[in-house]
Amino acid sequence: MEEDRLWKFRKPAWLNSAWARNTGVYGAGALFSLAFYVLIDSAVWSHSPLNGSDVHVTFVDWLPFIFSSLGMLIINSVEKARLSADSFSYSGSGVAWKARIVLFLGFAALAGGMAGGVVVFVLKFVVPEVGWPMMGMGVENVVANALVGLSSVVLWISQNMEDEYSYNLSL
Amino acid sequence: MPSAGLKTIIALSFVLAVGFLLVILSCALWKVYYPLLVVATYVLAPVPNWICGRCANPDDFVESSGGNAVLDLGRFCTGFMVVMGIALPAVLAHSHLIEMGAMVMCVIGGLLIYGTIISFGMFFQEEQEF
């Protein structure tokens, strides 16, 4: 595998340990939970007596989060090993091609969710010039979608670590 | 793990009792019983790991991702639950459903409970991991 290396610097050894991989997966769950509860916080705050305005969190605010979670689910459900067309014996039936299409849909849903969060923030909170404590709900929406993206990045990286790890074991 | 004897059990149960004390106090002092949810969260937190650990095939040494994905799912859910135990009181306190002091006590108590569960699992598990 040494001559297949693409980058000049090799990965540090601790990155390949099972410990680092497990920590990555736990961390991804933690980040996703953080995103979920940031959004829950905006919804709960919006219907609490603290919210004096008539701006409320409705289903529209949840929609970007739903899309980015869906994208995260799709991205991390795809088998990474099928992605490279030159992997032996799987390129025949066009699995790599299908995997790329599905992965593209997943990334599109994730990016669309993040863009949707920004859209909701701009159209619902910035343009009508909502005052500051109410503005927090829009900011939380953007933060939640960014955290979902971060979580899927962490999960993706730690799942790629797994391949290296199992390869080292099988040697 | 060596020397996990009577003293460990006594210390762990003591810490568990202190954790429950803090959580129940955080509810009862302000007569708002939402923080009890944290106990349920932390008790349920290791459950996905256990279930998925059973579902995965332990004989699969060269881990082709069939069994491993299930393990990762369990870890993901556990990480979700652990942060949920901290985030839930924070959400409640932010909307003034519970007081700030109740939030702090409840988070500390929840962490003590979860730490007890985790260290109990670490001390008294059979040597089967990896």
- The amino acid occupying position B39 is V
How close is the nearest chain B Cα to the Cα of A116, in Å? 24
Q: Average pLDDT, stretch A130-137?
A: 79
Chain A and chain B share a number of CB contacts under 8 A equal to 81
Q: Is the pLDDT of residue A156 over 80?
A: yes
pTM value is 0.78
Pick among A16, A25, A90 to test the B interface (most B CBs inside 10 A): A25
Comparing CA positions, the residue from B75, B69, B57, B76 lying closest to residue A79 is B69
Which residues 101-160 of chain A have a CB within 8 Å of chain B? 155, 159
B70-90 residue pLDDT tens: 778 888 888 888 888 888 888
pLDDT per residue as tens digits for the range B47-78 = 888 888 777 665 555 445 445 777 788 888 88
| B contacts of A30 (beta carbons < 8 Å) | 79-80, 82-83
Return the structure tokens found at B39. 């106990």
Say which residue, B73 or A161, is predicted with more confidence. B73
Residues of A within 8 A of B130 (CB-CB) are 18
Distance from CA of B16 to the nearest CA of A (A): 23
For chain A, give the secondary structure using H, E and C.
CHHHCCCCCCCCHHHHCHHHHHHHHHHHHHHHHHHHHHHHHHHHHHCCCCCCCCCCCCHHHHHHHHHHHHHHHHHHHCCHHHCCCCCCCCCCCCHHHHHHHHHHHHHHHHHHHHHHHHHHHHHHHHCCCCCHHHHHHHHHHHHHHHHHHHHHHHHHHHHHHHHHHHHHHHC
